[in-house]
Amino acid sequence: MAGGNERSMKALKEVWRRAENSFCADCGRPDPDWASSTLGVFICLSCSGIHRNIPSISKVKSLKMDHWDDAQVQFLAKHGNAVTKATYEAHIPIYYYQPTYNDCQVLREQWIRAKYERKEFTEPGKHLPYSDGVKEGILWKRGRDNGQFLPRKFLLSEREGCLKYFTKQDAKEPKISVKIDVINATFQPVKIGNPNGLQITCLKDNKTRNIFVYHESGKEVVDWFNAIRSVQFHYLKVAFPIASDNEIKNRLTRNFLKEGYMEKTGPKQREAFKKRWFTLDHRRLMYFKDPLDAFAKGEVFVGSRENGYSVEKGLPSGTQGNFSWHYGLTIVTPDREYLFTCETETDQLDWIAAFTSIINQAMTPQEYAIEAYFKFKS
């Protein structure tokens, strides 16, 4: 009996050591130490918790702590991540967002349920709820002035190339109509205070507008997110016919590079530093009095190194403004320097790394146009 158990453990370790099984099958986290005995995939602890919530589909066990019998080990050996992915991820639409371990719970859970429970990607041409080119429904939207979440009708249309929302169910005219190519959507459960919180940002007259929404159903809010990506993808395919699918995919929704509190001073650099919430959305650094403000109090364009932009650790000597945080950084632009302070050294280094990653990238023609607008505005 002991010998049989040792053989099973040895065989299990051999399967576990395969290169294909060295990353979680669902989120890509390295060194997964759980597996599904019914699906044959190797997964991380976090994803195993989601699998445990769909016991009719997946039975999970620890690879280190639980006993695996011969039949279960053979099943794992026959399947593994590569074989199982070939079945359950065979026909994922190019625009569908595949989350990683850095993404929030609702995205990862709906990805796992879409694959194994609803089998959305197992066959070609399957009708998907986010692929129709139109989506209409109710989302709970945060009021711009009062901060209350109220139900609002939203309409997404590929034919019209826009997203609209209406203050009343039977309203003929939308409160806002935004072109699909200037929309971004990113999940913000912590900021919004709801596990299904979604932040939709759009450019209106070259100013960024934030719309904060959620839906009680995790599936519904993720369907909205992927519907936005689907409509954007097909719109951009028409707008840029020679661009590859992957080039277009990279222009769909994006997560912010970094968010958090810093202190800032004004252009004269003698004013007191004020605490503000900052969002770095590619080359736009926006600052807000409150993280849930609809409009930024100001925006800074962050260009490329070859165009005279840089980030420096610390503040210029002789900085006179009063500040309570002592980990400074300076954004140098062709026109002026922007001074910020961070609460901790870790925050300071993280912000510097985020700015450096942008500054080291060459600017696109569209970004030169944005830079020109910022210069004109100032």
Structure confidence by residue, pLDDT tens digits, 202-218: 987 778 899 999 999 99
Q: Are residues 143 and 183 in the same domain?
A: yes
327 part of a folded domain: yes
Distance from C-alpha of 64 to C-alpha of 276, rounded to nearest angstrom: 46
From residue 62, give the alpha-carbon distance in Å to each of 11, 32, 39, 160.
15, 10, 14, 50
Q: Percentage of residues in the chain with pLDDT exceeding 70? A: 97
Q: Are residues 23 and 107 in the same domain?
A: yes
Q: Can you read off the two tokens belonging to residue 84?
A: 């199982």
Q: Can you read off the two tokens belonging to residue 270?
A: 């003698």
From residue 306, give the alpha-carbon distance in Å to each of 242, 283, 333, 335, 360.
28, 15, 11, 15, 8
* Total number of domains constituting the chain: 3
> For position 324, what pLDDT does the model report?
86
Q: Are residues 140 and 238 in the same domain?
A: yes
When pLDDT is cut at 50, 70 and 90, the band that residue 369 belongs to is confident
Domain that holds residue 1: 1-117
Among 230, 250, 270, the domain-final residue is 250
> For position 4, what pLDDT does the model report?
52
Per-residue pLDDT of 130-146, as tens digits, reads: 998 999 999 999 998 88
Q: Are residues 6 and 87 in the same domain?
A: yes
Cα 81 to its chain centre, rounded Å, is 24
Q: Are residues 153 and 222 in the same domain?
A: yes
Distance from C-alpha of 38 to C-alpha of 285, rounded to nearest angstrom: 47
Among 223, 250, 277, the domain-final residue is 250
125 part of a folded domain: no
Per-residue pLDDT of 268-303, as tens digits, reads: 767 788 999 999 998 999 999 999 999 999 999 999
Radius of gyration of the chain (CA): 24
Lowest mean pLDDT among 5-9, 161-165, 186-190: 5-9
CATH at 207: 2.30.29.30
Q: Are residues 214 and 313 in the same domain?
A: no
From residue 310, give the alpha-carbon distance in Å to each of 202, 319, 360.
27, 18, 9
Q: Are residues 285 and 236 in the same domain?
A: no
Q: What is the edge-to-edge ordering of all strands in the sheet holding 298-301?
A: 298-301, 284-288, 274-281, 258-264, 337-342, 327-332, 310-313
Q: List Cβ neighbours of 100 (8 Å cut-off, separation of 6 or more).
A: 27, 28, 29
Taking alpha carbons only, the member of 357, 353, 352, 358 closest to residue 370 is 358
Q: Are residues 138 and 210 in the same domain?
A: yes
Q: Are residues 102 and 14 in the same domain?
A: yes
122 part of a folded domain: no
124 part of a folded domain: no
